[in-house]
Amino acid sequence: MFGFPTHQTRSPSSDFTCYNTPGSHSCRRVSSRTSTGRCTGSAIFNTAASASRDAETRSGWPPSFHVVLTAYAATVTVSRDTDTQVQYLLKKGIEHVLLILKMTARETLNSENFIRELCMCNGLSFENVKEEGPETKTLEMFFSGYPVMLGLSYFPNLTQLVLVGQTIQRIDGLESCQCLLDLWIAECHLTKIEGLHCKKLRKLYLYDNSIAKIEGLETLPMLEVLWLNENEIEVIEGLDQLHKLKELNLAGNLIHSVGPCLDPNIQLEGLNLSGNKISSFQELTNLARLANLKDLSLKDPQYRPNPVCLLCNYTTHVLYHIPQLQRLDAYDVSDKQIKDLADSTVMKKLMYYNMRVKTVQRHLSEEIEKLNPRKCTAKHVPEEQIKILQFLVKNLERNMVDQKESPSDLSTLDEQICKKMDSLKERIQFWTQYLDQIDHSYECEEAKTKESFDLLVQFLQTELETVGNVRFEEGSPSDAWFKFCSDLILSRFCERDFNAFGVSSLKINRIIRVHNRILKQKFEEKLQELLDLEDLGFSKNYRKMFDYLFNIFDTTSPVEKKDLLKVLRDGFVTSKGSTMHKQEQEAVLLSNTMSFCEGSRLEFLQKQMTEETSSNDPGPFKHGRLVISKVFLGNSVQSCHDIPITSDNYNKANSVFRPRNFETRDLYSASDEICFSGEHRNCECSLRQCEWFVFDHELVLPEYIVEFEYVTMENSFLHVKPIHLNAEELAEELKYDDDIVKLEPVLTPKPKILSLDETTILLVAKANVYSQITVLNLHGNSLSKLKDIGRLGSLKKLIISFNDFSTLEDVSYLSCLEYLDASHNRVTTMGGFKGLGKLKYLDVSWNWLTDPKGVIRILREQATRLQSLCIQHNPWQKPSLVSRTAIGQLKSLTYLNRVLITENDISEAEKFVSGTRITPISLLAYGRTDEVKPRCLSLRSTAAILLEHSRNSLCPPGEIKASCLNMITSLNFDGQNLFEISNLEKLENLKWASFSNNYLTSVSGLEHCMKLEELILDGNCITTLAGLPKLTRLRKLSINDNQLTSLDRNVIDDLPHLHFLSAENNNITSLAGLQKAFVLFELYLRCNKIDNNQEIYHIKSLPNLVILDFSGNAISSKTDYRLFVLYHLPTLKALDGNAVDPAENENAKEIFGGRLASDMIAEKVGHQNFLELEELDWKTSSIRTVALVPADQFINVHTVNLENNKLESFSGLIFLPNIKNLYLNHNHIESIMPRQKSQYHLSNRQMLHQTVNSSGYGQQATTKGNRDATFGEPLTPIMQSLEVLHLGYNGISNLLQLQLNRLTNLKALYLQGNDISQVEGLEGLQFLQELMLDHNRIKRLTESSFTKQNSLVCLSLEENRIRELNNLPLLFKLKKLLLKNNKIQELSEVENLEIFPCLVELSIFGNPISNKASYRLSLVLRLQNLLILDGIAVTAEERARAEMNSLEQQAQSLPISGIEIPYPVPSFFTIGPPPLRFNHFAGTEMHLNTAHDDVLSNELNKRSTHL
């Protein structure tokens, strides 16, 4: 069975079988008669046949090989005269044939042995193989070493064939096995897939062979399993016909990429690509199109992993793009949590990079905004000159008309006027061209800026696509690597080399560092491979073989962005520079000098610039990009003169270098000499300058991108002459204008008309009645209205230039008007412009028109005969729209902006207008039918991605069906010049739509698209969201670069699943419409008109908001804006493009946590009219500071309750002008004014407060020591209106530090529950009537404690440690003294209270003195005015008993003799009603006979509620 590959065929004209082998000729029956033989050909034939039969007898081979001899003999044609020669040839031929016969006989014997072995291994009898073979279903053969597939014809019904560990090199003999289902030819020596004619084959195992190409499988339509692992395959191909393939194993090959080769295999469920060389995530995304893929292996444990598996975020990337996977790299990934985690990670990355892209766009906008002032400044002078000159021209035109009506002959004057007008028009043309040059210059600069920033966006997109494995870092001069690159470039730039181009030096604009983990990994692996090869001999000195070289790109143009990105992402494959020879294209071309990189390109440009027909702009060539790569040169040799630089010619070299002065390399003549100028006396640049050819592109690692600019001399062809006139040139031009203005005739200015009446109109028109007026020139006045102009029924020409008109509605219904000049006014709208059917000429240039669509629509409807229109120099919203729309819609127009309209202009305009509507054909062209959103790492809209990549398009336009439109799920109409959204009634399944960069003014037209999930409307003219239907599935809405003024709350509320909202660069002023956008994650509102902190409260309730961008709004420039937003929106992860640091959140809490400000009050009360407020109640609100500014807004507030907060001072309360009652119990008040501490003693919060003006900290210039030193000095009174102050339970220990002396008008002071030990610092409170000092630590009262409290009515000192009362001063008005629960022990101390003439209530219960039996009677007796003692009213009977008790004690103290002692009073005389008990500060219940102050009674009531 096994031998050389054999084809078994049956001859149609004989009964024998011929075996064709590589060592034999193809056998066929031939005639015994030769066609040309004239000699004894039969003898030759008989001799050969005899030899053949003899061989058959000896070998046992079938009787067939005599045909070989017959064929050989038939080829010999001889004559009768050459018998000797014939005999010789015949002898040699027979010998050759006999040799063949011997070999064939041996092979025949081996084949028989192979078949016998096959039968024995499978339990079959060789002798009965013909009978048993057809019944056999399975054959197996393992490690027998047999090289050929033979004998399969005996097994026609075979379904499984297993051949493992053989030496088979070719698949053969399967033609008879048409029932074969499983085929194993593994661990053999196959080099090619062929001979597979088994159409029913379902499983094919060809692993561990030497197959280099996937081919020959197109005949296996039923194949389901294919194993080609452990071969030498480099490219996935040849599988496009295997539509039923479910399992594919390509592990252990040399595959670098996947590409779209597996797209036809839609049934594929299992794929093993382990042990290959796939290194890019981009390749893995191709597998996302395999919708049925369940099992994927890229780093099977039995194989080495692909390089891509070693990159960051590998697993996340795969699971996100192929969510249906059940197993990945032999691990079970079917758990939903794993998939959700991958999705969440990717979504965060998408959000992050979207934020960064918007940050780049913001910086771009800022850069472009910087250009606008310069542009306006540059255009100011020419615009003003144009206005002045045009004003004079129109004056001269009016004067000429007036002169022609005069009967006198003024031909000379007319000639002067015409000459002056021509000169003025020439100057107008000059300034107009200068304006155009300025516009073009700034357009180029803007385009260059956009291109530079667009490259950064592409870099970010690359970072996203590679999941951060390729990163780009923009450097600054402070970075060490930036300086390294800069010095490297400047050291390799030789000025002498560039003198021929007029380049004097080089300016580096930007350097970007490339972090490519993919290429770096390849670089290190390849380097390690080389170092492991000891025979190369550079393992010890390899560090000296590194160098940084410049990559050489196409020399005829600057480096293209797409080529640059490809190099930075994928590295160098081959060089395609135009300066290379064909043989050199397999190497990467580099250089160590700028001369090689840029010389050829500049030379090419110089040649083009010298051509007469060349119109190249040198600007792009003046700027360039350079890629600096880290290169391992390895064994580097110099190139030889006659040998092309290829790896075959330099097989032992890793790189080849070619010096600059190489004989066959002459870049340009100016650079062939060594620099010996005075400036470069020691320069040997030419000797060191080389170009390198590196054969292995993996040894070239791009690391830096440098953007540079040539500094040119004035004579350089690269030198761009400045567009702007310098001061001297500008002064000269202005002087020239003045000279022309002064030319004769110099007209005398006419007085300006401010308003029109009948007399004025007739005077100006020089007419007697209105009906005679056909021309009216009102140029150069100050008119804003044309009163009664409608009465001029015959008016044909009207000039109202250089006035102050804002609208043209006054000229409506002038039915005969043909000419209207309204230039140089302030017209903002054409609304009201009606009934001008005969108008032929209209000039509205130099106005303030902005809406081109509206203007053209009005003119099309109201001026149907318009032939000439001038609309330039208006601030149009869409300048590109104006001309094409005007030409396309105004069919009668022949001149536009004084330029004749050509047929080409009309054709382009009609094409433009025809494309402004949505048609069924355009729906088919821009629509896709994908049901699932593509999973790709891209920041573009879903509709744009599908339009570019999806193949699910609709039928051709010629087969449009109504049902087709219903299948559309994606629609991308970006940049299609649409004016409205229409004809979408059939698109009920539309999910993703984009209408960016059109001319839409409304969002209506989507009423039937209720399944929309993503809607992009950027770059239009939309003014409101009204009209947007209730899109309950909408998740993403982008409406940047429009004219929105607000976010309609009714619209946003109808979008319950809105996750993403971007409305940048609009005119939005309020966020009120976002209050219920509870699922919003991302909000971008850059460059709007939000300027009030109050707007933050509208989005404060959005719990999921993580990204917010307010940059470019007025609010973002306010002090502490960022911390303010972070405090109120603690869920934010990024603000204005910058990630939120946890320390910032802490700082925000420190500064704004508990900060009572006007915006917080506005949030609570629901309005900002603070003048209506009289009370502020903010109990238990964690308030730390008060910043109610401006204080004038709170002028009517008289009561503030801030109890149970975290105040440390009165803070901003001191600025409230009319506050009377202040409740600050349960805080941490240390002083009225904030205490200024040294930085060493300040807490983090206090240091933060010092940076905020409204916090109170930092408002005192003196330090603590200085303040303490000034306690004895008078301080400026504050809070003059404050009468009642509650400071209970604040932990106060030092009354002096409180600075209460400054509250000069205070009437009630409550200091209960503190740590006060000494009463002091109250000298300034001369109007104090009530003082509460309960629950403190007061031990004694000093002489100065109450020295100036002459107005004190109530003094409460309960729950202290007072022992003595001897230092109490005389308080004439004191009526109530509360001393309960102190340490008073002796009744003698109570005697000190006799000095208070008005004392009516005393509380002394809880003192040691109260334990004495007669203490109450003693106090009642001593304090004659006392009405209440210890809360119990003193009755007359009690006072009588006290007097009686006193008399008895006096009697007992006298001698007994001679004295008559009266009988004691019976007890029944003292019985009376029970005494009344009073609560201290019980309000109205404690009514004394003596009068009390109203303030006391009122405040007692209030205090009772706060205790």
Measured CA to CA, the distance from residue 142 to residue 1438 in angstroms comes to 129
Measured CA to CA, the distance from residue 954 to residue 924 in angstroms comes to 6
Which position has the token pair 């870092």? 473
pLDDT digit string, tens, across residues 1309-1321 = 999 999 999 998 8
Which position has the token pair 């035109």? 397
Q: What percent of the chain has pLDDT over 70?
A: 80
Confidence of residue 790 (pLDDT cuts 50, 70, 90): confident
User: Above 50 in pLDDT, residue 29?
Assistant: no
pLDDT digit string, tens, across residues 881-940 = 889 889 988 989 999 999 999 999 998 888 888 778 888 888 988 999 999 888 888 899
Determine the pLDDT at residue 620. 60
pLDDT digit string, tens, across residues 477-489 = 999 999 999 999 9
Confidence of residue 95 (pLDDT cuts 50, 70, 90): low
pLDDT digit string, tens, across residues 547-600 = 999 988 765 555 667 788 888 888 887 544 444 444 455 788 898 888 887 777
Determine the pLDDT at residue 991. 95
Structure tokens belonging to residue 1371:
């308080």
Structure tokens belonging to residue 1341:
């009262």
Contact status, residue 202 vs residue 223, Cβ threshold 8 Å: yes
pLDDT digit string, tens, across residues 826-837 = 999 998 888 898
Helix (H, G, I), strand (E, B) or coil at 1295: helix
Confidence of residue 12 (pLDDT cuts 50, 70, 90): very low
Element (H, E) at 1418: helix 1415-1422
Which position has the token pair 């597998």? 287
Contact status, residue 497 vs residue 673, Cβ threshold 8 Å: no
From 664-668, 741-745, 1397-1401, 1410-1414, the region with the lowest mean pLDDT: 664-668
Measured CA to CA, the distance from residue 744 to residue 722 in angstroms comes to 35
Which position has the higher pLDDT, 1 or 1418?
A: 1418
Structure tokens belonging to residue 967:
């299948």
Helix axes 83-121 and 66-74, enclosed angle (nearest 10): 150
Determine the pLDDT at residue 1184. 85
Determine the pLDDT at residue 357. 92
User: Above 50 in pLDDT, residue 365?
Assistant: yes
Determine the pLDDT at residue 102. 54
From 90-94, 299-303, 852-856, 1095-1099, the region with the lowest mean pLDDT: 90-94
Helix axes 879-889 and 852-862, enclosed angle (nearest 10): 20
pLDDT digit string, tens, across residues 1286-1304 = 999 999 998 888 888 889 9
Kindly report the pTM of this predicted structure: 0.75
pLDDT digit string, tens, across residues 740-773 = 998 888 888 888 888 888 888 888 888 888 888 8
Which position has the higher pLDDT, 1348 or 238?
A: 238
Determine the pLDDT at residue 616. 53
From 21-30, 298-307, 1337-1346, the region with the lowest mean pLDDT: 21-30
User: Above 70 in pLDDT, residue 1264?
Assistant: no
From 272-276, 1300-1304, 1314-1318, 1489-1493, the region with the lowest mean pLDDT: 1489-1493
CB atoms within 10 A of CB 1437: 14
pLDDT digit string, tens, across residues 442-480 = 888 888 889 889 999 999 999 999 988 999 999 999 999
Determine the pLDDT at residue 45. 42
Mean pLDDT for the chain overall: 81
pLDDT digit string, tens, across residues 700-718 = 999 999 998 888 776 665 5
Determine the pLDDT at residue 1151. 81
pLDDT digit string, tens, across residues 213-264 = 999 999 999 999 999 999 999 999 999 999 999 999 999 999 999 988 999 9
The phi and psi torsions of 973 (rounded to 5 degrees) equal: -115, 35
Confidence of residue 1355 (pLDDT cuts 50, 70, 90): very high
User: Above 70 in pLDDT, residue 1010?
Assistant: yes
Measured CA to CA, the distance from residue 1443 to residue 1416 in angstroms comes to 12
Confidence of residue 56 (pLDDT cuts 50, 70, 90): very low
Helix (H, G, I), strand (E, B) or coil at 1014: strand
Helix axes 411-465 and 336-404, enclosed angle (nearest 10): 180
Helix (H, G, I), strand (E, B) or coil at 1097: helix
The torsion defined by the Cα of 1354, 1357, 1359 and 1365, in degrees rounded to 10, comes to -130
Side-chain half-sphere exposure of 482, counting CA atoms within 13 A: 13
Across the range 1248-1255, mean pLDDT stands at 44
DSSP state of 563: H
Determine the pLDDT at residue 315. 93
CB atoms within 10 A of CB 1323: 16
Tell me whether residue 1169 is exposed, middle or buried, using C-beta atoms within 10 angstroms of its C-beta: 0 to 12, 13 to 18, 19 or more.
exposed
User: Above 70 in pLDDT, residue 678?
Assistant: no
pLDDT digit string, tens, across residues 1042-1065 = 999 999 989 999 999 999 999 999
Contact status, residue 501 vs residue 716, Cβ threshold 8 Å: yes
Determine the pLDDT at residue 1498. 45
Element (H, E) at 19: strand 17-20
Determine the pLDDT at residue 322. 92
Note the helical H segments in 492-593. Answer: 495-498, 517-532, 561-570
Which position has the higher pLDDT, 238 or 880?
A: 238
pLDDT digit string, tens, across residues 1454-1483 = 654 444 444 344 333 333 444 444 444 433
Greatest C-alpha distance within the chain: 208
Confidence of residue 96 (pLDDT cuts 50, 70, 90): low
Note the helical H segments in 128-211. Answer: 129-132
Confidence of residue 197 (pLDDT cuts 50, 70, 90): confident
Structure tokens belonging to residue 321:
């793009």
The phi and psi torsions of 45 (rounded to 5 degrees) equal: -65, -45
Which stretches does DSSP call E strand in 989-1128?
992-994, 1014-1016, 1036-1038, 1060-1062, 1082-1084, 1107-1109
Confidence of residue 57 (pLDDT cuts 50, 70, 90): very low
Determine the pLDDT at residue 223. 94
Across the range 800-811, mean pLDDT stands at 92
- Residues 6 or more apart whose CB falls under 8 angstroms from that of 311 comprise 281, 466, 467, 469, 517, 518, 521
pLDDT digit string, tens, across residues 649-675 = 888 888 998 887 654 444 333 333 334
Determine the pLDDT at residue 500. 72
